[in-house]
Chain A
C-alpha cells in the first residue's frame, strides 16, 4: 500500500508528492490523516497566509499599529487590492520586534532616556529574539523577504546552571548542565534498573518488557551493563582531556557528583525529557538582529502606507464606516475615515483609548493581564564565555531573583567583543528591577553575573535595558490569559465588533511570539475578506 502510493520525483520520494498521491487516492481527509500519522500534523492554516481572491473591491482598511500583526495585515491586504493605511505610534515599524544597536533611543514612562552606545556590530534583541523551527508563519516572511538566518543555540549542555537557593556543595556554584543531566538521569536509571531487575516492578512489567525496560535504562542512564550501576560517563566531561599519544592519551574522565548533592542542588529544574513545544532546541534568528523582519515588511509595503508618530486618540464606528482620530508627529490632530479597522494595539494600551464597541467587548478587553518583562544587553570587552569557558551560546539558568536567565549570543562567534543578555525576567521580579534607573539596573545585572563568571565585571563596558511594562506603546511584554479569560473574554475579542477587528499575539495561543501576531492577522484578514466579498 505504502509503496504504491508513495510518490517519487525522479526516483526520489518527496513528502509533498506522497501527500498529493494520498489525496488523489483517498481525498484530502486521507492525506491529512496521513500527515497526522507521520507526525507532520501541522495545519496548513499556520503555514501560509490566506488567499484573498476577488480583490478588495475598493474597501479602505485602517490598520492601527505597525507591529508584526499590523505589518502582516497591511502587506497581505495591500497586495490583494485593498486600500490600506497604517497608523503607528512609534517612529519605526516592528512593534515589540526591536533591536537595540548604536544610536537606538528608548524613553520609558518614568522618563529614563537611553541611547544605545554599543560598538558597531554589537546589538541586543530587546523584544523577540528566537524563532522555533515550527513557527512556519514567521519563517514564511523571513524567506519571502530574503532575511538571512542563523542557528540560535537554545540548549547548551556546556552552559552553567547556578542555583543558589539549593542546598549542599553544589548550591550557589556554577555547574555545567550536562553534568547535572548525566548524574541526575544516570542515578535515576540505576535505581529503576536495579528495582526492575529484582522483579519489584513485575506488577506493571511483563517478563519480556522487564528486560527491554532494563535495556532502555542502561542506554538512557549510560549504566554499566554488568551491575547496572552509574559511575559517570564521558559525556559529563573530563578532568584530563583525551588527546594525542600516551600523555594525555585517553585522558581522565570526571567523577560524578553524589546523587544527594545533585538532588539538593535543585539544579535538576533545568532537566526535562523533551524540550517544551515552544522551547525547541533548534531555534533560528535573523543575522544582525530581529528587526530585519519588520524591515523586510516595510521594504515591501508601498511608501506612505505607514504613517509614523501617529498616536491614536479615539476610535469611532457606525453602520456605514469607521473614523480614527489621532495626533500626528507635529502634534496636530488629524482624522482618517475608512470602511474597517484592524486594531493591533495591545489591550493594555487600547483600554486607555476611547473606542465605540459594545459593553461586553470592553469588559472582555479588561479581562487580560500583561506581563512585566525586563531585558538587558551587556556589552563585554571579550567573549570570555567562549574563550575561557568554551560555552558557545545557550542559557545560564539560575534562581537569582530578578535575573531569570543570562543568555550568551549565538552570533559573531570568536568576535572581538560580544553582547550577552544579562537578565530576562518576568512578573514581580521584573517590576522590582525596572524601578531602578538604567545605570543601577546594569550594576545589579553585572554584580549577579559575577557570581557565575569571574571575568564578568572586568569585561563589562556598557548596557542597554528595556522594561516592556514601562513602554508607553506596549505596557507589558505580552498578554497573560487566565484559564477563565480564555474561556470568557478571548472568544469575544476574536470576533469583530461591528467594523473593528482586533489582532495581535494577544489573540492567539502563541502568545508573546511573532508567529502569534502573524497568524492572528491571517485569521482576521481572512474573515474581513470574506465579508467584503459578500457585501
Chain B
C-alpha cells in the first residue's frame, strides 16, 4: 500500500520542489519546503498545499501569545520535527512487558482491558481483531445513515467540495499563532458530516480511530452537522497515551447549520510531566463552533493531562435562537498549568449561552479560567449564565479567574457567579471520622464538586471521568 502511495507521490513530486521525500522523518524546523514535504507525503491536491502555504505566510507575521497565565520556556520551532511517519513495527515495544510499568499500573487502575492496553501503549500487535471488527460494523451502520466519518486526509480526496467550503471557515488561518501553525502543518484528524435531518445512530468516538491514523501533534478536526441533524462526538480517552511529541497544537471546527445540534465531549489525559515538573505535553488548542439559526453546540471537557493547557472551546452564536454551552472540569497538580475557558459570541437574537467551569488545583499547580461573553449590538434578548468555581487542595497551588464581559446591547442579560473554596479540613475530617480513607474522601469531595459537569458527559464517559479524577488525585493530599 505504502509503495503505491510513494509511487504516486513521486509522480506529483516531479512537478518541482526539492525536499527529499524518500526519508520518513523530516529534519527539524519549519519552512516552505517542510510544508511541501508534508503535503506531498499526504498526496494532497494543489489547493490544499496553497492553503497551507498561505497559512504559513500569515504565521510568519505572528507572535506567540503571552497573555495567558502560563510560564514556560519559549518553544523553539527549529527543534520541532513537523512530520514523522508512523513508527515502524521494529521500534515498538514487543509486548506489555517492555512498557513502562507505571503506565501499566495506571491502565489497571482505570480498568482498561489488556488488548486495549496494548493499543494504547503502542505495542506491535499484529492486528487487534476485536477493535477492527467493531470498527467495521460501526462503519456499516454509519454508512446506512449517510454519515461520513473518516480521517480528514481521506476526506480531502473523497469530499473535497465540503472540505474546501468549510476548512478554516470557523477558525481562520490567522486566528491565532497556534491556529496558523496548525493550518500550515496539520497532520491529520477527523472529518464528520451528518446529512440533513439525520440523527447520528451512535456516539462518534476517536477511540475507534486509534489504529487507523496516528494523528499526532497537529490534529485537525472538522465536523459539519447539516440542517436538523444531531451528533455526539467523543474525543480522547481516559488512559494516558504514549506520545513523544511535546508540542501539540490542534484545531477543531464545528459547524451546526439550522436546527442542528453538536455535542462535543473531550477527555484529555496526556502526559503531564513528572512530579518535579519535567517534561509533559504543551497543549495549545483552538476549538470553535458556529451555530446557525436554532442550532446548538455544547462543549464538555475534562482536562487532567498536559504540562500546559491553553484551550478555549468557543461558540459563535450567529443564528437567532441558537444555544451555546460550555461545561468544563480542569484538574491540575504537581507543576501543571492550565489557562482554559471559553468564548461565547452572541450575534443573533435571543441567543443563549451557559458556562459552567470547575477548576481544581492541587500541588504547586496553577489553574486559570479565562472566558469572554460578548453581546453584539443586534443580539436582542441574548442571555448568558456563567458559573465558575475553583477548588483548592493544599496551600501551594493557585486558582485564577479572568472573566471578560462585553455587552453592546441594552437588553442583554449576563450573569456571572464565581466561588473559590478549599477542600476543608472539616469536610475531610467528617469523612475520616466515618471510616472513609483520605484518598477516597478527597476523590468523593472533588467528584461532588464536578457533578454538574459530569452529568453532561455521555454515561460511560462520566464513569470513566470520575475514575480518572480519582487516579489523578492519588497522592495529592498528605
A complexed with B: no
Spell out A's residues near B (CB within 8 Å).
none
List B residues at the A interface (Cβ < 8 Å): none
